[in-house]
Structure 1
Amino acid sequence: MLPSSTRYHDLDGPDEQVLVVGDGNFSFSVALLELLQGGSSVTSTCYDSLEVLQNKYDDAQGHVDKLREGGASVLFQIDATRVAELPELDGPYDSIIFNFPHVGLGIKEQDDNIAANQDLIRKFLDSSSKILSPTGKVFVTIKKGEPYDSWKVARIGIAISGLQLKTAVDFDHAAFPGYSHRRTAGFGPSMPSEDPDIIRNGAKTFIFSSTSKSKKEDSDDEGKAKKNKTKSTLKKFNPKGSRGK
């Protein structure tokens, strides 16, 4: 089982198949791998190439090295909106995690910015739903406050076939020692080491679960349906309370 500090994140234990997308400098994946205490299969990815990543974040290479030493798979140039189409990601996954998704395009018009990020989240959730295990979950964490509240993440997820909203909880940054959120644009001397929006307003994790059933559940349901149909048919010939002669 996971340490109690991470139970809010609803990960079930050390035997999970975990996929992390859009992990910036990979510090979240390092913290997660250490908390899982081995045994899990962790695949950590980012959108950038290794060269771009190294130029953006000075600490990224060290985190990549730690992940590989710990047995995790590290992949670059992975588009979070197409995870179900990529041969590198064969699934199924028990947990798929996307922290602080953002298109990072510098769109100044707020309505256009909101629409672009909603499209990102919608495509990510739709693609993720196709590579979830029957009991799998998708975690999306965003900042609180505007414009993030206007993204309506819960509403987007509920509209995705194969997903249902399980819960939404406050994101506990302290539960992942060593994790440092990095902006999509990169990190440099002019930028603070911690995101001021998260410090000021906090963040929220939306947890979506799969609506798919396992083969056993489908078989059980089919068996119950056949049994009920048989009972219904028999009642036509021998209604309750009547006796045969």
Structure 2
Amino acid sequence: MARRRRRGSGVKWLKHYSSAQSILVVGDGDFSFSLALATAFGSGANIVATSLDSYGALIGKYSQAEANVMDLNIMGTKVLHNINAKNMTGHHDLRIRKFDRIIFNFPHAGFKGREEEMRVIKLHRKLVKGFFVNARHLLKPYGEIHISHKMGYPYDAWDIEQLASESSLATIEIVSFHKHHYPGYNQKKGDGPRCNQPFPLGACCTFKFCLRCY
């Protein structure tokens, strides 16, 4: 069962996230993760949910995307399309915002070859580094950046903690990620002819980072 907690009057929790936090979800595929949060909170008013795809491409890729976006809109979530994690600070709806939590689940630069090829690993690292460079500027002083990521080779070769450090971020903790904590969340391949299909998760962790204090 997913852990829903109350910490304080009227505040609803789902795992690491609460209705009292301003939350930015980056690269949310079919928006099912954002919808899981909004459903647990009873409102999506504290959430900004983004996708790399245009709305047209989104509903063409994912069978549930149109319904998920509609539900998020009804629940008061700000839904943004065509948001690239590597330059999102330039978007007019984001550049004046600051967030308590910025979430990027299973970042992936696309299927450009075999995952263990160094060329492909470098593409993934470039994406994550670009995300960190942008996300740190959208973070409140005591906010956190969360990346959920598969464990083991070749995923460990992305060296996410090192990329964070290079962006003046400090590691808070690394905790296990379990999909069942987020009812309704459906991870998607996001690219290629099977873009609507889920990818296997296996062992996964959520890396939590904060702005480094000097």
* Bin for the TM-score computed over the shorter chain: 0.7 to 0.9
Q: May I ask how many residue pairs the two structures share in their alignment?
A: 205
User: Which residue is 2:9 aligned to?
Assistant: none
Residues in 1 aligned to 2:13 and 2:123: alpha-carbon distance in whole angstroms: 32
Structure 1 residue 155 and structure 2 residue 159: aligned? no
User: Which residue is 1:19 aligned to?
Assistant: 24
Which stretch has the larger CA shift, 34-43 or 139-148?
Answer: 34-43
Residues in 1 aligned to 2:111 and 2:196: alpha-carbon distance in whole angstroms: 20
Which of 92, 114, 119 lines up with 1:112 in the alignment? 119
SS in 2 for 1:146: coil
Structure 2 letter corresponding to 1:55? G
User: Which residue is 1:204 aligned to?
Assistant: 205
Query: Is the CA contact 2:4–2:15 (under 8 Å) kept in the aligned structure 1?
Result: no
1:122-169 CA-partner distances (Å, limit 9, x unpaired): 1101110011001111011111222211101111112212x2110111
Query: Is the CA contact 1:165–1:208 (under 8 Å) kept in the aligned structure 2?
Result: yes
Residues in 1 aligned to 2:191 and 2:98: alpha-carbon distance in whole angstroms: 31
Structure 1 letter corresponding to 2:127? L
User: Which residue is 2:189 aligned to?
Assistant: 183
User: Which residue is 1:102 aligned to?
Assistant: 108
Q: CA deviation at 1:194?
A: 3.9
Looking at CA atoms only, which structure, 1 or 2, has the larger radius of gyration?
1
User: Which residue is 2:66 aligned to?
Assistant: 61
Identity %: 30
1:81-127 CA-partner distances (Å, limit 9, x unpaired): 11222211121111110001001042347100111101110110111
Q: CA deviation at 1:186?
A: 5.6
TM-score by length of 1: 0.76
Residues in 1 aligned to 2:14 and 2:34: alpha-carbon distance in whole angstroms: 17
Residues in 2 aligned to 1:88 and 1:43: alpha-carbon distance in whole angstroms: 10
Structure 1 residue 93 and structure 2 residue 72: aligned? no
**Distance change >3 Å, CA 209–CA 36, structure 1 → 2:** farther
Q: Unmatched 5+ residue regions in structure 1?
A: 214-245
Query: Is the CA contact 2:13–2:41 (under 8 Å) kept in the aligned structure 1?
Result: no
Q: CA deviation at 1:39?
A: 7.1
* Structure with greater proportional helix content: 1
1:24-47 CA-partner distances (Å, limit 9, x unpaired): 001011001112333751010000
Aligned residue runs from structure 1 range 132-147, under 5 A: 132-147=139-154
Residues in 2 aligned to 1:118 and 1:177: alpha-carbon distance in whole angstroms: 29
Q: Unmatched 5+ residue regions in structure 2?
A: 7-11
Residues in 2 aligned to 1:138 and 1:52: alpha-carbon distance in whole angstroms: 27
Q: CA deviation at 1:22?
A: 0.4
**Distance change >3 Å, CA 8–CA 154, structure 1 → 2:** farther
Structure 1 residue 74 and structure 2 residue 79: aligned? yes
Residues in 2 aligned to 1:23 and 1:98: alpha-carbon distance in whole angstroms: 8
TM-score by length of 2: 0.87
Structure 1 residue 172 and structure 2 residue 195: aligned? no
SS in 2 for 1:61: helix
Structure 2 letter corresponding to 1:92? K
